[in-house]
Amino acid sequence: MMMMMSEMWKSRDLFFSFVVLATFQLAVSDGHQPLSIVAIHKTTLALDERAYIKATPNVLGLTGQNTEWVTLQYSNPKPNVEDWIGVFSPANFSASTCPAENRGVDPPLLCSAPIKYQYANFSSNSYKTTGKGSVKLQLINQRSDFSFALFTGGLTSPKLVAVSNKVSFVNPNAPVYPRLAQGKTWNEMTVTWTSGYGISEAEPFVEWGPKGGNRVKSPAGTLTFDRNTMCGAPARTVGWRDPGYTHTSFLKELWPNRQDQQLPKGLLLQELMKYIYKLGHRLFNGTEIWSEEYQFKASPFPGQNSLQHVVIFGDLGKAEADGSNEFNNYQPGSLNTTKQIIKDLKDIDIVFHIGDLCYASGYLSQWDQFTAQIEPIASTVPYMTASGNHERDWPGTGSFYGTMDSGGECGVPSQTMFYVPAENRENFWYSADYGMFRFCIANTELDWRKGSEQYKFIENCLASVDRQKQPWLIFLAHRVLGYSSADFYVAEGSFEEPMGREDLQYLWQKYKVDIAMYGHVHNYERTCPVYQNICTNKEKHSYKGPLNGTIHLVVGGGGASLAEFAPINTRWSIFKDHDFGFVKLTAFDQSNLLLEYKKSSDGQVYDSFRISREYRDILACTVDNCSPTTLAS
Ligand SMILES: *[C@@H]1O[C@H](CO)[C@@H](O)[C@H](O)[C@H]1NC(C)=O
Ligand SMILES: *[C@@H]1O[C@H](CO)[C@@H](O)[C@H](O)[C@H]1NC(C)=O
Ligand SMILES: *[C@@H]1O[C@H](CO)[C@@H](O)[C@H](O)[C@H]1NC(C)=O
Ligand SMILES: *[C@@H]1O[C@H](CO)[C@@H](O)[C@H](O)[C@H]1NC(C)=O
Ligand SMILES: *[C@@H]1O[C@H](CO)[C@@H](O)[C@H](O)[C@H]1NC(C)=O
Ligand SMILES: [Fe+2]
């Protein structure tokens, strides 16, 4: 059984004797990952000598790039509309990697899902009649070579007709897809990236320094995880793919950014305050392997009064620029959102992606593709993540919800591939200071109710901020713990997750949280400043003085297919949009904040409000938030 594809061809007959038993339980949850429709474990052989599929070029990334288009040409003497092309990586996809789940049972012929697929007729209308076609697909460097296979029989009962030549990036192990995140202190930036170099092959590091200044090298730590750390299928079975190595380096004692100041000769000081960095691996024979050069700006000191821009959204997901994996139109807004944020990047300082990151849902190849998609953003500004159901949930593993939404990942890839400044990255809750902001990031996939460990964290995060210096207090979480008019909540007679705000609303009120934002519901909605369902402020666009409650926003329209609103109008809901978009917060100073909701299709603002207030307005008393007083004088 331990054979490679080429050998399989030669001994084709042998394979017809295989009984393909569906020993692989495919966990297909609500989300329907596009790859989940491919019943790869049911593959049978229908190899045809006259059929072929050819890929060009053979070698990718000759000029150092990590993304390249390949052209496929193929022919099938017995074409069918349902014929499709699977992209496999490693190229030697075969029974050789199929574990037999039970002794005495033959493993299936194929047991690794394609990393993407496309219909044979996608850009060849006449394929159905002529059996000839060609298509261009985009590949990214993901540590292995690639091959392409032509299947008939549709996605659900695939029959392998032909396999292509192998193609490969010049250096499949190259360091790729850097993602920044704030460290545990304000003046530390973490750089996390992926490579094919383990610690026994090379030493990972970041070479960095201020633009025009001296560069230093900082070491990086290396993590990986194996199949056994996955909690179930498909992550443990057909969806498994070697994740390579995740490296993180901690760049410390950064000099805070400064406000734009014109220098003589029209140079921006801010430009000078940028840091340049490059990822490196030193092989043990002395050779150094380098990534390209990237830049970032250090974060402001907590309380620093300067212009600060924050972008927040949830549920971005990923999509393929070449149109592949279109089944279910899984995350139709993803590329538009990514594009608009990249377009506005010079006016964005930090990004929060609050859960449901890439919806790999157990198909691990998708994590590379996601980190490649967001690279222009994440390599330039801190890309802060939160945990969502699609990262964490799996029955019987301690997730608060027992759904199968993580496809067996049970949090491992997200906790490993993205750094967050959490005390315990497994818990995924943390606080982040950014200038005049304090963010408290919760993890709705673990218990948050009073008495839980997370509740203590949330209270401590909200209570430990100096509001005179960091007046803008923001609560972030994946599922809606506040308010949403989503049809699926309303159908349950509710406007939130069960027990969502039951305990937390006292904390938000007591600690005067200004804004709380959630994803999970794939649309946009804004409430009035609200407490216990009651609007505490009648204003809609220009808040002055105390809010007296918290403004809740649903910002889950990052990319995944949209969610419906229930046909109901509550008093607290003051703006709804059934479209893809994201939110941008701008703090002008300690007294003025602007929130804008932008659509991903055109980047224009469709909803906004301002808060103008002074320190005494934060101290002001209203219901349930006054400190006790004494009569003594
Ligand atoms: C292309 O293939 C898909 C999938 O089988 C099918 O739904 C579609 O109708 C085909 N289009 C054409 C133009 O044949
Ligand atoms: C398939 O390729 C991968 C990496 O390219 C390699 O690690 C593995 O040993 C190969 N398997 C076989 C059976 O050749
Ligand atoms: C070091 O090893 C790499 C990878 O094996 C090889 O490509 C390179 O030529 C070697 N360099 C030297 C100086 O031997
Ligand atoms: C993406 O943006 C384009 C251009 O603005 C727009 O036509 C398209 O409808 C958008 N896609 C989605 C799914 O919103
Ligand atoms: C906020 O609450 C205080 C005290 O309850 C009240 O006096 C004030 O009018 C409220 N502000 C607004 C804008 O409703
Ligand atoms: Fe979600």
For ligand 3, atom 1, name the residue with the nearest CA: 285
CA-nearest residue, atom 12 of ligand 4? 333
CA of 561 to the centre of ligand 2 (A): 37
CB of 81 sitting under 6 A from ligand 1:
yes
Q: Measure 550 CA to ligand 5 centroid, in angstroms.
A: 13
Cα of 81 from ligand 1 centre, angstroms: 5
Dihedral angle over CA of 451, 453, 456, 462, nearest 10: -130
CA dist., res. 481 & res. 462, Å (int): 16
Q: Determine which residue's CA is closest to atom 10 belonging to ligand 4.
A: 601
CA distance 441 to 354: 8
Interior/surface letters 261-293, b for 16+ CB within 10 angstroms, e for the rest: eeeeeeeeeeeebbbbbbbbbeeeeeeebebee
Architecture of domain 2-169: Sandwich (2.60)
308-633: CATH number: 3.60.21.10
DSSP strands (E only) in 315-450: 350-353, 383-385, 430-434, 437-441
Q: Model-level pTM?
A: 0.92
* Whether the bond into 57 is cis, omega within 30 of 0: yes
Cα dihedral: 60, 324, 406, 447 (round 10) = 100
Spacing, Cα 9 to ligand 4 middle (Å): 44
Pocket residue to mutate for ligand 1, from 38, 76, 81, 122, most atoms within 8 A of Cβ: 81
Query: Who contacts 151 (Cβ-Cβ below 8 Å, separation ≥6)?
Result: 43, 83, 84, 85, 86, 158, 159, 160, 161
Please report where in the chains the tokens 């038993």 appear, as a residue. Answer: 21
pLDDT at site 102: 53
In single-letter form, the type of residue at position 561 comes to S
Atom of ligand 3 nearest to the CA of 286: 13
Which atom of ligand 3 lies nearest, measured to the CA of 285?
1
Q: Is 126 in the pocket of ligand 1 (CB under 6 A)?
A: no
Cα separation values, 611 from 340, 515, 551, 595, Å:
25, 11, 11, 9
Nearest residue (by CA) to ligand 5, atom 2, is 622
CATH topology for the 193-299 domain: Immunoglobulin-like (2.60.40)
Q: Ligand 1 centroid vs 82 CA: distance in angstroms?
A: 7
| Run means of pLDDT, 10 residues per run, the chain, 633 residues | 39 28 31 75 84 97 96 97 95 67 62 91 95 97 96 92 96 98 97 98 96 92 97 92 98 74 51 86 97 96 96 96 79 96 97 97 96 98 98 97 96 98 98 98 98 98 98 98 98 97 98 98 98 97 98 98 96 98 98 98 98 97 91 91
- The three-state secondary structure class of 4 is coil
Buried b (16+ CB within 10 A) or exposed e, 535-565: bbbebeeebeebbbbbbbbbbbbbbbbbbeb
Ligand 3 proximal residues by C-beta, below 6 Å: 283, 285-287
Choose the residue to mutate in 2, 4, 5, 92 for probing ligand 2, maximizing ligand atoms within 8 Å of C-beta. Answer: 92
Q: What is the pLDDT of residue 315?
A: 98
Where, residue-wise, is CATH 2.60.40.2840 in the chain?
2-169
Ligand 4 binding pocket includes 601 (Cβ within 6 Å): yes
At residue 35's C-alpha, the angle toward residues 193 and 78, to 5°, is 130
Residue located nearest, by CA, to atom 3 of ligand 5: 622
Cα separation, 57 vs 158, whole angstroms: 26
pLDDT score, position 104: 59
pLDDT, residue 403, reads 95
For residue 176, what are the CA distances in angstroms to 330, 373, 501?
A: 25, 12, 40
How many angstroms is it from 166 CA to the middle of ligand 4?
A: 35
| Distance linking the first and last C-alpha atoms of the chain | 87
pLDDT at residue number 257? 62
The stretches of 289-383 forming alpha helices (DSSP H) are: 334-343, 365-373, 375-378
Atom of ligand 1 nearest to the CA of 82: 5
Residue 11 contacts by C-beta under 8 Å, 6 or more apart in sequence? Answer: 3
Closest-approaching ligand to the CA atom of 478: 6
What angle (nearest 5°) sits at the alpha carbon of residue 553, between those of residues 425 and 344?
A: 80
For residue 562, report the phi and psi dihedrals to the nearest 5 degrees.
-65, 150
- Token pair for 110: 């194929």
Q: Which ligand is in closest contact with the Cα of 112?
A: 2
Residues of the chain with CATH 3.60.21.10: 308-633
Testing ligand 5's pocket by substitution, the residue of 622, 625, 626 carrying the most ligand atoms inside 8 A of its CB is: 622
> Are 280 and 174 a contacting pair, CB within 8 Å?
no
Among 170, 197, 283, say which to mutate for ligand 3: greatest number of ligand atoms within 8 Å of CB: 283
Question: Cα 243 to chain center, whole Å?
Answer: 15
Return the ligand 4 atom nearest residue 579 CA: 14
pLDDT at residue number 258: 42
Q: Is 537 in the pocket of ligand 5 (CB under 6 A)?
A: yes
* Pocket-forming residues, ligand 2, beta carbon under 6 Å: 4, 90, 92, 96, 144-145
